[in-house]
Structure 1
Amino acid sequence: MNELRPAILLLLLAIDDVSLPLRKNVCLYLSKPVVRAAPVLEPSPVGTNAPDNLAAHFYGTVLHDTAYDGAKFRLWYYACHRGANPDWPPRKAQQVAKKPAGIDQDLEVVPGPLCYAESDDGIAWRKPSLGQVLFKGSRENNALDLPHTIVSGAAVIRDDSEPDIARRYKMVYEYFPDQTDPPIEEYGSLPSIACAVSPDGLKWSLTALPFVNQFVEHCSLIRHAGKYIVHSQVFSGTGWGGGAFSEGGTAGGRAGVAHATYDFNRWPDLWQWAFTLPEPADQAARGTYKDQFGFPQVHLGVGAASFGNVCVGVYGLWHDRKNFADISGDLGLAVSNDGVRFRELSASPARPFIRREDSPATSVEGRNFNTILCQGNGILNVGDQTRIYHGRWRNVGQMTADYRAEVALATLRRDRWGWLALNPGAQEGSICSMPITVPGQPFDILLNADGCRGMRVELLDERLQPIEGFSGADAGRVDADGGLDCLVQWATEIPSTMHGRLVRVLVTMQKSGDAQSPQLYAIALKARQ
C-alpha cells in the first residue's frame, strides 16, 4: 500500500529535484507544518495495569485503512510499562529473566508489548480490548500476541499486491534477546528485526528472523518499486554497527541504512547506506556520546512513505551529547526516487523540518526535560491534508519516574512539502520535468499551485523541443487562482498517438506587477474518470 491517491498516475513534487530537475529563475522554499499541540495518543494512566501505562512510543504506524471496518484509521505502537508482568508464559518469561543492571525494580521501565488503537478521524483514538495477552491478571487490553517479549518498532503495511489474504498485512518489528536466560539460540543475542504477516492486522504469524545476531533498529517499512524496504540506524564501527564502518574504517555516529528484498520471507544479507549526515573531519571526534556538543546524527533512519514514483520521509535529527539526558531530537525532511537513497532538500544539512520546540513532549511541572522527536510509518494523505504522525519522547535520562512518550500530529495542505517560486527580483521563470511516459489512457494534468493565472504549461519532447499543439500559443492554461487540483486546459485533447511517448512538462510562471510570485507545489497526472 502506498499513499498515492486513487487515479493519480504520476506525482511530480516541487521538492523532487530528480523529477523536476531543470529550472530557470526559480528557487525552492520549504513549508512549515502545523503541529497539533495536544498529543493524539497518550499512555494509559500510571496507576493502571495497562501494558502502555508508562509510554506510547510512535516507533509505529498509522494507516487509513479503507479495507477495514468502514475505513478506520489504525495505529500500531510500541508501549512501555512499569514493572514486570507476572503472567508471561514460560518461553516469554525466559526472555525477561535477566534484569537490566542499575534499575530499581519499583521503577523499572519495561519495553513492549506492541499495542493497537483505532479511530474514525485519526485524532481521537480507542484502545480496543483484543484479548490476546494475559497481562497482570487481565486480557482486557490492546496488546498484540507475538513470540518475543521485549519488542519495539511496529512498522506495518497493507500489501494490496499480495494475492494471499493471510499475508495481506506485513509487519517488521524489533526484538531484544539480550535479557533472555538461558539464551534461545534461534533468537541470537543482539537486538534485530522479525517479520510477521496477518490477514487483518491483529493476529500475527512470524515468518522470518532475517538478521539474527546482527543489530538492526528500524523505523519504517515501505513497499516501493516492487521491493520491501526497511529503514534503520547503525552505530558505525561498533558491535551495534551491523557491519558498517564510517569512511576510513572508523567508528561513526548514528546513520541511516536500508535493507531491501523482493520476497518478504527472504532477505539478502546485504545493506546499503540510505541517509547520512556529515561527520567531523577529525576521525577521533566521530562516534556517539563523544563530546559535550556532539555533531548531528541520524536517529533510526528515515520514516518514509511511497507516493508511487517518489518517496518522502522524515528522519530523526539527533543532537548528540556526552550525557544522555542532554540529548534532544528534531525531524528533518528527505526525498527519494528509489525508496532507498534519500537526500536532503535544504542548502545546509541537518535542517529541522519539525522542531522539538514546536512539538514538545508533555511537560513536568518544575522540570525542563528535552524532547526527542521520533518517526515511523506515519506519513499519509487524508483528503486535503498531508499528515505526519510522529512520536514525542520525553528524555528524562535515568529518572524513570518521569519517563513518558506520546504520539503527535503535524499537518500540511496535501503534498505541499515545499514550493518553487520566482527568484527575488525575477519576473519570469521556468520549471521543466524529466522525460515522462504519456499514459495509455485519457488523463489530465493538475497543478497544486497558487497564482495559477500567472502560469502556462507546455509539452516538450524528450530533447526539449516544443510539441506542436501543446506549446507556444497553444500552451495549457489554468482558469483558477490556485488550489490543490487545478486543471490544465488545452485547446485540443492530447491524442492517443502520443500514448507511450516520452515528453517533458514545462511550467512557466510570470509575476504580475507587485503581486506575489506564483507558487508551484506539485504536478500530477490523473486518469480521467
Structure 2
Amino acid sequence: MQNQAVLLAIDDYLLPLRENVGTYLSTPKYRKEPVVTPERDNPLAPDQVAAHFYGAVVHSNGKYQMWYYAVGLKEPGDAYHADLKKLTQGPVCYAESNDGIAWTKPDLGQVEVRGSKHNNAIALPDEVIEGVHVIKDDSDADPQQRYKMVYNPLNGKTWVIRTATSPDGIHWKAADHFGTDQFLETASFYKFNDLFVVNGQRMPFSDGGHAGGRQGRAIISPDFEQWLAGDTTAFDLPEPAQPADRGTQKPYDQVHLGVGATSLGSVAVGLYGLWHNIPGDGDSQKRWGWFGFGKISCDLGLVISNDGLHFREPVKGHVYISRFDTPATPVPGKNYPTILCQSGNGILNVGDETRIYFGRWLNVEYGMGEHGEVALAVLPRDRWGALGLNPKDSAHTPAYDNHGSIWSAPIRLPASGCRVLLNADHTRQMTVEISDEKFKLLPGYSGAKAGKSGQQSGLDCAIDWLGGDLSALAGQTVRLKINITKDSKSDPRLFAVYLRAD
C-alpha cells in the first residue's frame, strides 16, 4: 500500500477468507427529479433535445464540474417530438454546481449554434460526439494538462476515441490524432496502477468465431498519448448456448457501454448496463431501424476489479440500480421503458457520501423524439455493500451462530506505519487481529490484545491496540483478521476497511 488501501466488503479478493458471514448489498437513495435536463424551449441550446450522461463529474476546490453528451436539432423544429433523422449528436456540454444538485450551464462563448455562441458547449475538433469522460490528474506536473479527457467522436466510419487536455476543464486542447481507429463506444476513463484505462462497449465474436452481443472491453495507454492495439475482456455476460441465438439483433441480456468505473487505488468499483435487448423491425425508413424503440430497457449492475481491467459481480445477476426505482421523467399518458446509462465518470466520494451520477433515457416509440436526463443516487461513503453474520441456522452452523470472521489478503505496511479504520455499524462488536502472511497471529496484536474501536458506528472508526500503534510492524507483510460477534441488540455490518499511512 502507499497512502491508503481500501478493502471494500464486496471485494472477495482483498477480503478472501470468510467464516459465517454473508454479503448484504446496499440500496442507494435516489433523487426523483433529474439534476440536469435539456433546454427544450431554447432553440439556441445545443442540448435542446436531450442531455445524456455519457459523461463525467469532477469535484474540486468545493465545486462540481460536469461534462455531458448533448443532443440537439439540426434545424429549427419541435424539440418535444424531434425527428430522429434531424438530430445532432454532440457537442460536449459543460455545467457546474456548488452542491452537485442545482446545476448551472455557463455561457462559454466557444461554439456557435444558429448564429449564437451564448451557450455551454465545449469547442472540440469533431462535429459528431457521443461519450465524454474526464479526470483531474493532480500527479501531472504540467498545469496545462491537469484535466484529461477521453471523448467518443465519429471518425467518418465508426466510433473511436480522441484525447484532450485542459488547465481548468473548460478550455481544451485536443490531440491531433485519434487514439484508436477501432470501434469503441466509451463508458469510463481512469488511472489504475499508473496506466490510463478506457472502458467501453464492443461487439466481439463469441467462442467458435460466432456472432456475439454487446460486451465490455478495456483499452490501455501507458502515457495518455499512445494507446495499445487490442483490448482486454473487462466484463462479459453469458452468450446463448446456441450460436444462432447470439448477436446484437437477438433478444437476450447484453452489456451496454461496458463498465463505468472509478479507481479507489487498491480497487476499482463500477456499474455496467444490463441491457435487456429487444431488436427493432429493421425498417429502412427509420433512423436506427435495428433499435427496439419503446421496447429495450436497461438496469445497472455492480462490479469490482483489483487490477482495473477485469471486473466481476459481488453478487451475480443482481440489479443494483433498477429502472423501476429511478425511472426517467415520463411522457404523460404513456408507459415507456427506461434505459439507465451507467455513470461513466460519475462515481465520486465527496465528504461522507458516495455520489453516483447516471443517465436516464426514456425509450419512447419511434416518432416521439429523444429523451435524456442526468440523475443522481447517493450512498454513505463506500457503503456499496456489507459483510454481516449469516442468519442463525442450527442445521448448518451449530457452533458459530453469533460469531464470524474475515481475513484480508497480505498487506505490506508502509515504512512510516499506518492506521486501521473500519467503516462499520456496531463496531464495538468487532475486534481486529494481525497475523503474519501465513495466518500466524501476532501475540502483541491478537487475543486479549486485539484491536478495538471506541466508536459505536461510523465511516471512519479508528482501531486501537493495547500494545500501541503499528509502527513496530512498519515494512512488514501482514494480514488482518476482523472478528464479528452478534448479540440480541445488534447486527454488526462491515462495509470497508481502510489502512492509512501516517
Assess if the C-alpha contact under 8 Å between 1:318 and 1:327 holds in 2: yes
Is 1:433 aligned with 2:400?
Answer: no
Counterpart in the other structure of 2:108: 130
Counterpart in the other structure of 1:333: 302
SS of match in other structure, 1:284: helix
> How far does residue 31 in structure 1 lie from its aligned partner after superposition?
0.6
Provide closer, same or farther for how the CA distance between residues 427 and 56 of structure 1 changes in structure 2, counting only shifts above 3 A.
same
Quick one: which amino acid aligns to residue 59 of structure 1? Y
Deviations 1:174-232 (A, max 9, x none): 11244xxxxxxxxxx22211111112111111225445542111011001110000000
Is 1:147 aligned with 2:148?
Answer: no
Quick one: which amino acid aligns to residue 308 of structure 1? G
Deviations 1:244-275 (A, max 9, x none): x1111111111000001111111111211100
Is 1:473 aligned with 2:448?
Answer: yes
> How far does residue 73 in structure 1 lie from its aligned partner after superposition?
0.2
* One of 233, 240, 263 as aligned partner of 1:273: 233
The whole-number CA distance in structure 1 between the counterparts of 2:82 and 2:457 is 59
Quick one: which amino acid aligns to residue 270 of structure 1? G
The whole-number CA distance in structure 1 between the counterparts of 2:207 and 2:115 is 52
Counterpart in the other structure of 1:300: 257
Counterpart in the other structure of 1:89: none
Counterpart in the other structure of 2:71: 80
Deviations 1:370-420 (A, max 9, x none): 11001210000111111100000111242243x210000001111100000
Counterpart in the other structure of 2:492: 518
Counterpart in the other structure of 2:319: 352
Counterpart in the other structure of 1:240: none
Provide closer, same or farther for how the CA distance between residues 106 and 55 of structure 1 changes in structure 2, counting only shifts above 3 A.
closer
Matches for 1:492-507 after TM superposition, within 5 Å:
492-507=467-482
> How far does residue 125 in structure 1 lie from its aligned partner after superposition?
0.3
Give the unaligned 5+ runs of structure 2: 281-291, 393-400
Assess if the C-alpha contact under 8 Å between 1:129 and 1:142 holds in 2: yes
Is 1:371 aligned with 2:338?
Answer: yes
* One of 10, 26, 39 as aligned partner of 1:15: 10
Assess if the C-alpha contact under 8 Å between 1:40 and 1:125 holds in 2: yes
> How far does residue 493 in structure 1 lie from its aligned partner after superposition?
2.1
Assess if the C-alpha contact under 8 Å between 1:208 and 1:265 holds in 2: no
Is 1:361 aligned with 2:328?
Answer: yes
Assess if the C-alpha contact under 8 Å between 2:23 and 2:386 holds in 1: yes
The whole-number CA distance in structure 2 between the counterparts of 1:400 and 1:172 is 31
Deviations 1:146-194 (A, max 9, x none): 100011211001111211221111111111244xxxxxxxxxx222111
Assess if the C-alpha contact under 8 Å between 2:179 and 2:226 holds in 1: no
Counterpart in the other structure of 1:388: 356
Give the unaligned 5+ runs of structure 1: 86-102, 179-188, 237-244
The whole-number CA distance in structure 2 between the counterparts of 1:363 and 1:314 is 24
Assess if the C-alpha contact under 8 Å between 1:446 and 1:524 holds in 2: yes
- What TM-score does the superposition give when structure 1 sets the normalisation length? 0.87
Assess if the C-alpha contact under 8 Å between 2:418 and 2:470 holds in 1: no
Assess if the C-alpha contact under 8 Å between 1:208 and 1:266 holds in 2: no
Quick one: which amino acid aligns to residue 252 of structure 2? F
SS of match in other structure, 2:244: helix
Quick one: which amino acid aligns to residue 67 of structure 2? W
The whole-number CA distance in structure 1 between the counterparts of 2:181 and 2:479 is 48
Assess if the C-alpha contact under 8 Å between 1:210 and 1:267 holds in 2: no
Quick one: which amino acid aligns to residue 298 of structure 2? G
Assess if the C-alpha contact under 8 Å between 2:83 and 2:367 holds in 1: no
Counterpart in the other structure of 2:458: 483
Assess if the C-alpha contact under 8 Å between 1:313 and 1:334 holds in 2: yes
Provide closer, same or farther for how the CA distance between residues 467 and 246 of structure 1 changes in structure 2, counting only shifts above 3 A.
same
SS of match in other structure, 1:473: helix
Is 1:407 aligned with 2:385?
Answer: no
The whole-number CA distance in structure 2 between the counterparts of 1:213 and 1:9 is 37
RMSD: 1.8
Quick one: which amino acid aligns to residue 73 of structure 2? R
Provide closer, same or farther for how the CA distance between residues 420 and 105 of structure 1 changes in structure 2, counting only shifts above 3 A.
closer
* One of 179, 188, 194 as aligned partner of 1:226: 194
Deviates more, 1:455-464 or 1:104-113: 104-113
Is 1:246 aligned with 2:206?
Answer: yes
SS of match in other structure, 1:469: helix
Provide closer, same or farther for how the CA distance between residues 399 and 8 of structure 1 changes in structure 2, counting only shifts above 3 A.
farther
Deviates more, 1:207-216 or 1:431-440: 207-216
Counterpart in the other structure of 1:36: 31
Quick one: which amino acid aligns to residue 322 of structure 1? P
Assess if the C-alpha contact under 8 Å between 1:83 and 1:105 holds in 2: no
> How far does residue 289 in structure 1 lie from its aligned partner after superposition?
2.4
Quick one: which amino acid aligns to residue 362 of structure 1? T
Provide closer, same or farther for how the CA distance between residues 264 and 366 of structure 1 changes in structure 2, counting only shifts above 3 A.
same
> How far does residue 104 in structure 1 lie from its aligned partner after superposition?
8.3
Assess if the C-alpha contact under 8 Å between 1:33 and 1:412 holds in 2: yes
Deviates more, 1:382-391 or 1:473-482: 473-482
Is 1:447 aligned with 2:407?
Answer: no
Quick one: which amino acid aligns to residue 34 of structure 1? K
Quick one: which amino acid aligns to residue 359 of structure 1? T
Provide closer, same or farther for how the CA distance between residues 25 and 469 of structure 1 changes in structure 2, counting only shifts above 3 A.
same
Deviations 1:313-356 (A, max 9, x none): 0111100012312100011100001111000111x33x210000
Assess if the C-alpha contact under 8 Å between 2:82 and 2:368 holds in 1: no
* One of 217, 220, 223 as aligned partner of 1:263: 223
The whole-number CA distance in structure 1 between the counterparts of 2:140 and 2:179 is 23
Counterpart in the other structure of 1:99: none
Counterpart in the other structure of 1:183: none
Provide closer, same or farther for how the CA distance between residues 106 and 395 of structure 1 changes in structure 2, counting only shifts above 3 A.
closer
The whole-number CA distance in structure 2 between the counterparts of 1:208 and 1:445 is 47
Is 1:191 aligned with 2:159?
Answer: yes
Assess if the C-alpha contact under 8 Å between 1:445 and 1:524 holds in 2: yes
SS of match in other structure, 1:477: coil
Assess if the C-alpha contact under 8 Å between 1:211 and 1:269 holds in 2: no
Aligned pairs, number = 477
Provide closer, same or farther for how the CA distance between residues 105 and 278 of structure 1 changes in structure 2, counting only shifts above 3 A.
closer
Provide closer, same or farther for how the CA distance between residues 310 and 106 of structure 1 changes in structure 2, counting only shifts above 3 A.
closer
The whole-number CA distance in structure 2 between the counterparts of 1:391 and 1:299 is 12
Quick one: which amino acid aligns to residue 264 of structure 2? F
Is 1:457 aligned with 2:435?
Answer: no
The whole-number CA distance in structure 1 between the counterparts of 2:348 and 2:135 is 12
The whole-number CA distance in structure 2 between the counterparts of 1:363 and 1:107 is 23
